[in-house]
Structure 1
């Protein structure tokens, strides 16, 4: 099904979005394009976060391509064609797994390698051009449900109301407790600290092996014992991004540290003397590290508050593993589904149904991706033992084609996830359920929720079989 690109709601609402990250700006753009008045409150003073590189999988790149066009999107991007596997401690190149073009064609998008700040600026500019009001330096101190309009209080004392408040303010969200309750368990450290960094192409070119890597259209994964480096070129091969996953106890991580990409530390914070000489040379080209701690937080059971006027999205609803490959793509998918649903709005009575539909459509999807991310993290940071030996054997067999073992399973699982289309997910809900609910405020019954869930599973299975075929 092809969703209507220019659908505009016949009733315009006021949306207040707390959080101006990739997800927040994307939601602002979608809602504004759908005919609504949108204001974003962002506590940072300007656009852009120091988070190094970003993997843009096909399910995300096809959305960005739809928004700005393929030519504009690829100006600062690198198309990922393969994943070489290296050993962190010996420097050995085990093998390389291609991102097969026939599989990518099935997904409808390209696998791109970009700088996080470049994607952030793209969606920021889209929001501005769509007429969104963006307030930087706006620290939210309180979120209150309203009847019927919720309100947000800022540090300067200003109180702002809206028809709907969207919490897009990340895993340490101030909106989330209003939705899920204050009794939620405290987050637990995963045991991994993640460092972001970039290396200039000029430095990479001083070493033959590093020079080859900066020129490759590839996403190298450098695997070690309980640690790994996710590396790839960005900005049209002008820089090399590093996402370094390191055990907390060896990373100099403060006991009270939590998620934050604004903690800048010197490169010497890490002891990388056990790394292969080539990786030690690469690290010497790093000017500083941006540190964050990976915390284990549950996905919120409910994304909509009791007043049915406050909703969570992105990592406020479903926190991702620090440095993962799908956090941004899940936030942008959330934005598309939320914005697309509200482009069909014609009555205030539909607001609760649309918010609950958004929750229903997205929850199983992000659960599936979260499971995949956890599997990937364990796969690249195995401790020594038979499983690591078996994995490395599979790596060595990856010389141009997927083998029949664990590596093939990993990549085929990712390919299934890439086929998801957020526009279609929202449009299908509207065709199957939304348009038949009229303009009453009656919630859908349990049978309707059940049928929608079954339809979602069937859709995923159809995509899976099409991709494998």
Structure 2
């Protein structure tokens, strides 16, 4: 079956040459990269060690697509498919974690979303993954599940599989996880820092069936809102987030806690193994609705939240192997922009390689990718960390000031995430900047300002060399004629 035109539309221009990509990692970032590159015609193989059943079982938690990410997928022709399973959030209600007392609300302003070009969507992680898997395949990508890559050779631009098979390409993209040793392929100096980074707190993720929500009068009031908001709880060294996500398992919950059972403190990666006694400990200090959500959940998992620094180098010295997504620029688990940054990476990557006319441009494009993304990802990390600290602020005069500012803004009919004086940042201004970012425009701007200039300079250099060559040829011929006389 040929490529589906649905996923090949609305791309400005096609590359002058087509090359071969291998993408190691078939998560959201890897599949988005595959789709973006196939939309402009490049040949793509995706190697993912898990199979569909593994992802469906392990990736059942809820996820978020802020406007800066949803607009990319909308532009790629996936809006109708997304709306089949995603829920569009109307805003956020902010409450105290321990009591459930309302601090205020903040609507997502329609004008801001319209300017951003997307919506704030909540969905099941696995639903988004399955959509991108299907779209990448239909666009012509060769996606190989159950393919375990054991090593990447940056000098040879090749990968070795667990069965000792070796595959080569013009570019190998490492779209691996935050804790993968493969993320260090670009530099011997960039060690895998994940294991040695201390745990900031832990994130507990839950999925609650729609039926459970509807049968409990307190939870039904949260579930049946005509314009579904997100629910945000602020507490003493703890925070919570909940929202509808669509489908029969239609409600997601995230809980961040700094004080957690010792039995989970040694878990270095995410797991679904949590004792009932531990769950009881976790909900002993939170409001009744959160307690009922935990008790009614049919899917539970938890993972450490770490503040892991970006890699210093994202591109191998060969100029043919980049690291993208969480492997290059990690965010704390549960971050708003966690999925979005990987989709932005894919959009920038595809835009850059839509201008490819010769293989000697590959290193330039890969280094431009890091230049374009590094500062943006750092700003997002700073914002996410500030957000987490504000939400989990210990009981203190600063926490009381935060809560009072929110109550005052609510009384004035203002969104509670805006600036209200004191030491609190204007969270809404930060969000507007993050939501309004256009990854493809950034890549286009780079091409116009720098890429074209370099290509023109290179062309002028070639033309100058040709003129010099012609000139010397003419001189040599003239000298030979003189000698003949």
TM-score calculated relative to the size of structure 1: 0.88
- Greater C-alpha Rg: 2
- Give the ranges of 4+ consecutive aligned residues of structure 1 lying more than 4 Å apart after TM superposition: 439-442
Does the C-alpha gap of structure 1 residues 16 and 264 become closer, same or farther in structure 2, counting only changes over 3 Å? farther
Question: Which residue, out of 135, 160, 164, partners 2:144?
Answer: 135
Q: Residue in 2 aligned with 1:244? A: 255
| Greater CA drift, 37-46 or 6-15 | 6-15
Contact 1:43 1:138 in 2 (8 A): yes
Find the aligned partners of 1:384 and 1:251 in 2 and give their Cα distance: 23
Q: Residue in 2 aligned with 1:258? A: 268
Give CA-to-partner distance per residue, 1:254-288, whole Å, 9 cap, x none.
42x3233x544355432112222222222210124
Contact 2:11 2:39 in 1 (8 A): no
1:334, CA displacement in angstroms?
Answer: 0.3
Find the aligned partners of 2:439 and 2:111 in 1 and give their Cα distance: 21
Q: Residue in 2 aligned with 1:197? A: 206
Q: Residue in 2 aligned with 1:405? A: 420
SS at match of 1:91: coil
1:439, CA displacement in angstroms?
Answer: 8.7
1:440, CA displacement in angstroms?
Answer: 9.0
Does the C-alpha gap of structure 1 residues 251 and 5 become closer, same or farther in structure 2, counting only changes over 3 Å? farther
Mark the runs of 5 or more structure 1 residues left unpaired by the alignment.
443-469
1:185, CA displacement in angstroms?
Answer: 6.6
Number of aligned residue pairs: 436
Find the aligned partners of 1:69 and 1:135 in 2 and give their Cα distance: 22
Contact 1:349 1:441 in 2 (8 A): no
Q: Residue in 2 aligned with 1:324? A: 335
1:108, CA displacement in angstroms?
Answer: 1.6
SS at match of 1:61: helix
Contact 2:22 2:169 in 1 (8 A): yes
1:276 aligns with 2:301: no
Find the aligned partners of 2:77 and 2:110 in 1 and give their Cα distance: 23
Q: Residue in 2 aligned with 1:166? A: 173
SS at match of 2:163: coil
Find the aligned partners of 2:17 and 2:153 in 1 and give their Cα distance: 24
1:436, CA displacement in angstroms?
Answer: 2.6
Does the C-alpha gap of structure 1 residues 251 and 372 become closer, same or farther in structure 2, counting only changes over 3 Å? farther
Find the aligned partners of 2:347 and 2:103 in 1 and give their Cα distance: 39
1:42 aligns with 2:32: no
Q: Residue in 2 aligned with 1:427? A: 444
Does the C-alpha gap of structure 1 residues 251 and 73 become closer, same or farther in structure 2, counting only changes over 3 Å? farther
Does the C-alpha gap of structure 1 residues 381 and 198 become closer, same or farther in structure 2, counting only changes over 3 Å? same
1:18 aligns with 2:14: no
Find the aligned partners of 2:250 and 2:192 in 1 and give their Cα distance: 40
Find the aligned partners of 1:311 and 1:278 in 2 and give their Cα distance: 45
SS at match of 1:86: strand
SS at match of 1:437: helix
Q: Residue in 2 aligned with 1:416? A: 433
Q: Residue in 2 aligned with 1:460? A: none
Find the aligned partners of 2:127 and 2:240 in 1 and give their Cα distance: 21
| Greater CA drift, 183-192 or 366-375 | 183-192
Question: Which residue, out of 100, 110, 126, partners 1:117?
Answer: 126
Give CA-to-partner distance per residue, 1:319-374, whole Å, 9 cap, x none.
11011110110000000101111111110110011001111111111111111000
Q: Residue in 2 aligned with 1:107? A: 116
Contact 1:57 1:110 in 2 (8 A): yes
Give CA-to-partner distance per residue, 1:411-439, whole Å, 9 cap, x none.
12101111111111111111221123229
